Amino acid sequence: MESLLVPTDFSDTALHAAKYACMLGNQMHSKRIILYHAYQTVIPATDLPIYPTRDLEQFKQESLRSLQEWSHHVTPFLSGMDMIIKTSDDTLPVAVNALCHKERVSLVIMGITGKSQFENVIIGNNAIKVLESSEFPLLLVPPQAPLRDVKNAIFTTDLENVHDTIPLQRLDTLLHALNARLWILNVAPPDKHPSRSSELSDLHLLLDSYKPVYHFTSDTDIVQGIIHFAHEKEDALIILAPKKRGIFYQLFHQSITKALAYRVTTPIIALPPKKAASA
C-alpha cells in the first residue's frame, strides 16, 4: 500500500484521521500520503446551478493555502513518508475515485463522527457518501481511535458465498501490509445462523495462510455483536466486505456498515465489492 489518500474538510475529526493515516502508513511501510480537499464553485441548490462571483483560481489558491497550513499539524506524525497536497473543484465522491485511479492510491482514509453530535453530521455524511461510491478500500476513523499500530484485524463475514464475494486480492494486500493477528468473525441472530460447512472450507482455503482465529457468536443486534467483539481486542481494526448486489447488500451495506460507522469507536475498513475491485 504505497499511497494513501486523506480527504479533509479541515475539521478536528479529519485531523485525527490524518494522524491515524500517518501511523498506519508507517506500520504498512507506505511511501506517501496525499492530503486532499475538494471545493465546489457550482452548487446545485435548485434546478439551475449557482455560479460564484469570485474567480475560480481564487478558490483553488485558498484551498491550497488552507491545505498547506493544515498539513503542518500532520507533518510531525510522518516517518519516512512523503506528503503531497492536492485540491480540485469537484464533489468529494467523484473526486476520490478519480484521484485514486490517477495516483494509484491503495487506501482512502477519512474521519467520521456519530450522528448524535449535530456539529459533525456533515462530516459523517461525507464519509458515508464516499463509502457508498468508492471503488477503493475506505478506512473510517472515529475520533476515539488510538494512534497506535494495529495488532488485531477483525474480518467480518456473513458466511454466504464467500468465494465469489470476498475481494481476495484487496484483502490479501491489506492483511500482508498490516501484519496483524487475523480474526474471522461471524455474528448472526440466534435463529438465523447460516450453513457453515462449505463456506468455512472456502474461507480456510482463502485465508489459512494468515493463521486466523475463527469466532462465531449470536446476537439479535449484529452491529452490537461486532462492536462488542472489537472492544475486547486491543488496538483492533474491523474489515468489512459489503456485497454489491442482492438483498443482503441492502441489509449489510446500507444498514450494518453505516450503523457500524456511526456507533463503533474502532476504525473500520470497507473493501469495495469484488466486481468493482481493480488492480
Question: Is the predicted pLDDT of residue 44 greater than 60, yes or no?
Answer: no
Last residue of a domain, one of 141, 162, 182: 141
Q: Are residues 89 and 212 in the same domain?
A: no
The answer as to whether 131 is a domain residue is yes
* Confidence at residue 117, expressed as pLDDT on a 0 to 100 scale: 45
Q: Are residues 12 and 131 in the same domain?
A: yes
Assign 51 a pLDDT band (cuts: 50, 70, 90).
low
Q: Are residues 9 and 134 in the same domain?
A: yes
Q: Are residues 50 and 17 in the same domain?
A: yes
Mean pLDDT of the chain: 81
Question: Is the predicted pLDDT of residue 153 greater than 80, yes or no?
Answer: yes
Longest dimension (CA), the chain: 64
Please state the domain count of the chain: 2
Q: CA 28 → CA 22, 23, 83, 179, 266, distances in Å?
A: 10, 9, 16, 8, 18
Assign 239 a pLDDT band (cuts: 50, 70, 90).
very high
Last residue of a domain, one of 141, 164, 183: 141
Report field, pTM of the whole predicted structure over 0.85: no
| C-alpha cell recorded at residue 188 | 448472526
Assign 258 a pLDDT band (cuts: 50, 70, 90).
low
Poorest-confidence range of 110-124, 136-150, 221-235? Answer: 110-124
Q: Are residues 29 and 125 in the same domain?
A: yes
- Cβ neighbours of residue 71 closer than 8 Å, sequence gap 6 or more: 35, 83, 85
The answer as to whether 165 is a domain residue is yes
Q: Are residues 39 and 133 in the same domain?
A: yes
Q: What residue numbers bound the domain in which 124 lies?
A: 3-141
Q: Are residues 162 and 264 in the same domain?
A: yes
H runs (alpha helix) in 134-240:
162-165, 168-178, 197-207, 222-231
Question: Is the predicted pLDDT of residue 118 greater than 60, yes or no?
Answer: no
DSSP assignment string, 222-241 = HHHHHHHHHHTSTTEEEEE-
The answer as to whether 147 is a domain residue is no
Poorest-confidence range of 124-128, 213-217, 260-264? Answer: 260-264
pLDDT tens digit sequence for 12-38 = 889 999 999 999 999 999 999 999 998
* Confidence at residue 155, expressed as pLDDT on a 0 to 100 scale: 94
The answer as to whether 203 is a domain residue is yes
The answer as to whether 130 is a domain residue is yes
Q: What CATH number has the domain bearing residue 10? A: 3.40.50.620
Q: Are residues 121 and 163 in the same domain?
A: no
pLDDT tens digit sequence for 121-143 = 444 567 778 877 888 999 999 88
Q: Are residues 134 and 157 in the same domain?
A: no
If you average pLDDT over residues 144-150, what whole number do you get?
92
Per cent of the chain over pLDDT 90 is 40
Q: Are residues 95 and 70 in the same domain?
A: yes
Q: Are residues 38 and 93 in the same domain?
A: yes
